[in-house]
Every structure is written in structure tokens, then in C-alpha cells.
A and B are shown apart, each in its own frame.
Chain A
Amino acid sequence: EPEVTQTPSHQVTQMGQEVILHCVPISNHLYFYWYRQILGQKVEFLVSFYNNEISEKSEIFDDQFSVERPDGSNFTLKIRSTKLEDSAMYFCASRPTRTDTQYFGPGTRLTVL
């Protein structure tokens, strides 16, 4: 069964460094998402992406964040200058159509020191 994959599974970085989190959505899916879950808190929406542009973003998704689909298969989340409070599990998700289920990847745990 096709799955959303994410790499790396764990990323440790120093505050102020740039990080890029990688996702490979399911191949025939058209809508892509990033969510995050700070330890012990609820899963929060960051951004949705369709047709090579952002379709919706939350207040969390400020100018430090960007997303890209560089090659038609990967979907990346970049954090330009990481802060301690960016430490969280980041989930990528994809869906085939607007009305279908979102399928989540296993997550990347980001630790900012």
C-alpha cells in the first residue's frame, strides 16, 4: 500500500540554523500539507499546498517557513532560522482530491538546541 514517507526521522540542529524537512507524498495525490505537534500538545496545521502554490496557511507559518515541491515528487518544509520553540514533530500529509482523506507520514522529530 502506498505511504507518505518523511526524512530524516530525527533532526537535531542549533538555534539559528536552517533546516529542511523532506516528504515524499503518495504519487497520485494532489494536495499536500504540513502539520506540527509540540510535545504533549495537539497536532496543529501549518500549511496546505496545491498546484504549486500555498492554498492556506496558519498563523504559525510565518516568514521563517517556506514550502516547495522542487521536482514533482518531493515536498519540503524549510525553516530559515530555527528557534527553540520550533522543536516539535512535523508531519507531512497528502490527499488525492479535495474531498478525500489526508494520509500522514511518520513524522520528523526536530530538536533545536
Chain B
Amino acid sequence: AQSVTQPDIHITVSEGASLELRCNYSYGATPYLFWYVQSPGQGLQLLLKYFSGDTLVQGIKGFEAEFKRSQSSFNLRKPSVHWSDAAEYFCAVGGYAGNMLTFGGGTRLMVKP
């Protein structure tokens, strides 16, 4: 069965600091991996996705993520965090079959001025 673990429930960083959010997945075949962001009271917005090819993927709002098969990880990074990045971030895994996404528990990011 597929699963996603986001080890950090809450993270607080200072504005301008770098950010890394961790994601570990379990999936029996080649995974499709996603990061979504959810602002309070809002829906899920796609930040970036990995299907194949280059293991470093670029997304919107200056985010990037690196797929490491050997570590079953897909960590999200941003070199300089802005106050508007405060939100909840969800990692998700799906498969070629194109059906369900399995989400991690989310990481709530707070940004200090």
C-alpha cells in the first residue's frame, strides 16, 4: 500500500531564511510525487510535481523539490522564505494508474518577521 510521511508537523522559520520540508513515501512502483499548498480556508494548490526525468523539479513561487529514489524522499525547498509562504504543505504520491493520491499529514509553516 502506498503511504506518505511528513515528519515535521510544524516548522517556524524567519523571513528570508531557507526552508526544507521533508517527505518520505512508500510506493511499490515508480511514483508520481506532488507538493500541494493550502492556505487557511483555501483549497489545495499544486506547487510542483515529479513524474520522470530530471530529479530536481522547479515549481511555482520559487519552490523546488528533489526526488531521491534511494532515500524514498521528495523534499521541498525554498532558498528564501517570504511571509506569504505561511501555509500548510502537503506531499502526495500517486501512480501511473492515475487514480488516487495518498497525502501525507501535512507540515504547517509559520514565518517569523
User: Using a Cβ cutoff of 8 Å, how many contacts connect chains A and B?
Assistant: 54
Interchain CB contact under 8 A, A99 and B98:
yes
Q: Which residues of B contact A44 (CB under 8 A)?
A: 103
Give the total of B residues in contact with A, Cβ under 8 Å: 24
Q: Any chain A CB within 8 A of the CB of B113?
A: no
Interchain CB contact under 8 A, B100 and A103:
no
Q: Which residues of A contact B32 (CB under 8 A)?
A: 99
- Select B98's contact among A35, A98, A103, A106, beta carbons within 8 Å: A98
Q: How far is the CA of A31 from the CA of B94 in the complex (A)?
A: 14
Q: How far is the CA of A42 from the CA of B34 in the complex (A)?
A: 15
Contact residue range for chain A? 20 to 34
- Select B49's contact among A45, A56, A101, A106, beta carbons within 8 Å: A101
B100 nearest in chain A by CB position: A45
Interchain CB contact under 8 A, A104 and B44:
yes
Q: Which residues of B contact A113 (CB under 8 A)?
A: none
Q: Which residues of B contact A43 (CB under 8 A)?
A: 44, 90, 92, 101, 103
A-B contact pairs, 21 of them (CB 8 A): A31-B99, A42-B104, A42-B105, A43-B103, A45-B102, A48-B99, A48-B100, A56-B100, A58-B100, A91-B43, A99-B96, A99-B98, A100-B98, A102-B94, A103-B46, A104-B36, A104-B43, A104-B44, A106-B43, A107-B42, A107-B43
